[in-house]
Amino acid sequence: QFRQTSIDVNDAIVRFLRDLFAYLEPNSVHRLCLVYFSRFVMKEGKHWQDRDSKIGLKCSWETCKLRLNAITLFIRFAEFLRINRPLMETWDSWPMSAPPNATRGFFNDVIDELESFGMSSFSGIEGPIRMSAVKIPPIKPHWLVELATDICLSASGHAEQSIQHRASSLLLELFWAQGQEGKMNGNVSVVASMFVPFISKVLTHISYLSSLPAKSQLRKDILPCAVFVMQSAPIGLMRALWRKLCCRAEGKGRCD
| pLDDT per position as a tens digit, 35-82 | 999 888 765 544 445 555 554 556 778 888 999 999 999 999 999 999
Alpha helices in 26-157 (DSSP H): 26-38, 59-75, 80-84, 94-97, 100-115, 143-155
Question: Does residue 256 form part of some domain?
Answer: no
Question: Does residue 48 form part of some domain?
Answer: yes
| Confidence (pLDDT) at 45 | 47
- Do 156 and 149 contact (CB within 8 A), yes or no? no
Question: Does residue 167 form part of some domain?
Answer: yes
3-state secondary structure of 58: strand
> Could you give the number of structural domains in the chain?
1
Q: What is the chain's Cα-based Rg?
A: 19
Please, how many CA atoms are within 13 Å of residue 203, restricted to the half-sphere of its CB?
11
Which pLDDT tens digit goes with each residue over 239-251? 999 999 988 776 6
Nearest to 208 by CA among 229, 228, 225, 223: 223
What is the chain's pLDDT, residue by residue, as a tens digit (256 residues)?
678 888 999 999 999 999 999 999 999 999 999 999 988 876 554 444 555 555 455 677 888 899 999 999 999 999 999 999 999 999 988 888 888 888 899 999 999 999 988 888 887 655 545 556 678 889 999 999 999 999 999 899 888 899 999 999 999 999 999 999 999 999 999 999 999 999 999 998 888 888 989 889 999 999 999 999 999 999 999 999 999 998 877 665 555 5
Nearest to 191 by CA among 53, 89, 50: 89
pTM over 0.85: yes
Alpha-carbon distance values, 144 to 25, 119, 131 (Å): 15, 9, 24
Give residue 242's domain range.
Answer: 2-248
Chain centroid to CA 168: 11
Question: Does residue 177 form part of some domain?
Answer: yes
Q: Where are the beta strands (DSSP E) in the chain?
A: none
Strand partners, 42: 130
Question: Does residue 254 form part of some domain?
Answer: no
Backbone dihedral region for residue 112 (phi beyond 0: left; psi -120 to 50: alpha; all else: beta): alpha
